Amino acid sequence: MSGPIYTRVALIGLGLIASSMAHAMRAGGLAGEIVGHAKSAETRATALEIGICDRVYATAAEAVAGADLVVLAVPVGAMAAIAEEIGPHLAAGTTVTDVGSVKQAVIAAVAPHVPASCHFIPGHPMAGTEYSGPRSGFATLYKNRWWLLTPDAQTDAAALLRLRGLLEALGAKVDSMDAAHHDLVLAVVSHTPHLIAYTMVGVADHLAQVSNSEVIQYSATGFRDFTRIAASDPVMWRDVFLTNKDAVLDVLGRFTEELFVLQRAIRMGDGDQLHDYFTRTRAIRRGIIEAGQDTSAPDFGRGPAGKPSDQA
Ligand code: NAP
């Protein structure tokens, strides 16, 4: 067991991502104390009840006072106002990180409010579930999952090393990349697939209305996975699409072109083209399994004890 890496960690937002961090920090003895703030009194009371925070505060400004690590774990659209509120209350030397699913927009929203004496190191854990709120977190969420950081040339090396140490102690594999590159990669691997899942479930919902809910009754694994992804938090995903607009629209344009290619192959009865296409995509799936990002076990995305763990 490692000793505490930070003396006081302030979690701003106490939902799935923050509560999972808290559970893992508690399990590893990684934080001297954990304090927190969430918008509603109900969430703050729950955080105390389940023990993820030693103290909670009604304002973010109070919560960050005296912390040496501040984690912004609110929806992306809420980051700017929180950063503006906490800026004047951050102690010199404090590291501020975030867990937002989009990086360029969060950096634009947060960086101007972080004093020069502090270290802002943007981050994104590529782990999650379709569940939200403080009760949905669990200590192993980050085990063997990527946690991407997007430092820049000015980022303090010692502060970066210390944050990396914490994230690795949570079980994560840490990598650094440029923020714009992050947003494009995430548009491909997460954001656009979510949009497609939302759309497919919407289409099925229309069909269900003309087929007496057979779509639900007979829902097979592919569709069930779509419904699980499409159950993800509406506020979080609204903000993702509003703030990663350019990259998502770029990927969606390419997706639409490919879809038309396949649509035409089906219409023309071009089996060779379909077979070649599916052979290529099968190889990609094999690559993901070989990279340790999923198993070939047919659990259709549901992890142990019903805790799915493949969202980001
Ligand atoms: P969540 O479970 O819905 O929790 C969000 C938390 O933020 C709640 O405690 C909420 O408080 C609080 N909050 C919202 N607006 C606030 C405001 N204006 N001021 C203070 N607190 C506020 O969300 P989550 O899944 O943990 O996601 C948090 C962040 O992680 C998002 O930026 C998301 O993009 C990112 N992320 C999510 C996933 C995922 O799969 N879920 C994966 C990677 C990254 P109340 O409960 O009081 O409303």
pLDDT one-digit tens code per residue, 80-111: 999 999 999 999 999 999 999 999 999 999 99
Closest Cα to residue 10, out of 74, 84, 75? 74
CA distance 164 to 310: 22
Indicate whether 130 pLDDT > 90.
no
Residue from 17, 34, 50 whose mutation best tests the ligand 1 pocket (most atoms within 8 A of CB): 17
Indicate whether 308 pLDDT > 50.
no
CA distance 217 to 17: 32
Q: What is the pTM of this model?
A: 0.91
Task: State the pLDDT at residue 307.
Answer: 47
CA distance 29 to 26: 5
Task: State the pLDDT at residue 305.
Answer: 39
Report the share of the chain in percent with pLDDT over 90: 78
Confidence of residue 32 (pLDDT cuts 50, 70, 90): very high
Each residue's pLDDT tens digit, 194-232 = 999 999 888 888 877 766 667 777 777 778 888 888 888
CA distance 245 to 41: 33
Cβ of 248 closer than 6 Å to ligand 1, yes or no, is no
**What fold is seen in the domain 181-306?**
6-phosphogluconate dehydrogenase C-terminal fold (1.10.3660)
Cβ of 137 closer than 6 Å to ligand 1, yes or no, is no
**What fold is seen in the domain 6-177?**
Rossmann fold (3.40.50)
Report the share of the chain in percent with pLDDT over 70: 92
Q: What are the φ/ψ torsions at residue 35 (nearest 5 degrees)?
A: -115, 165
Task: State the pLDDT at residue 294.
Answer: 77
Residue from 39, 64, 102, 107 whose mutation best tests the ligand 1 pocket (most atoms within 8 A of CB): 39
Q: Find the mean pLDDT for residues 118-138.
A: 96
Cβ of 15 closer than 6 Å to ligand 1, yes or no, is yes
Each residue's pLDDT tens digit, 144-193 = 999 999 999 999 999 999 999 999 999 999 999 999 999 999 999 999 99
Task: State the pLDDT at residue 142.
Answer: 98
Q: Find the mean pLDDT for residues 111-115.
A: 98
Indicate whether 34 pLDDT > 50.
yes
Per the prediction, the chain carries an average pLDDT of 91
How close is the Cα of 75 to the center of ligand 1, in Å?
A: 5
Residue ranges per domain, the chain?
Answer: 6-177, 181-306
Indicate whether 289 pLDDT > 90.
no
CA distance 148 to 179: 10
Each residue's pLDDT tens digit, 3-29 = 899 999 999 999 999 999 999 999 999
Task: State the pLDDT at residue 175.
Answer: 97
How close is the Cα of 284 to the center of ligand 1, in Å?
A: 32
Confidence of residue 304 (pLDDT cuts 50, 70, 90): very low
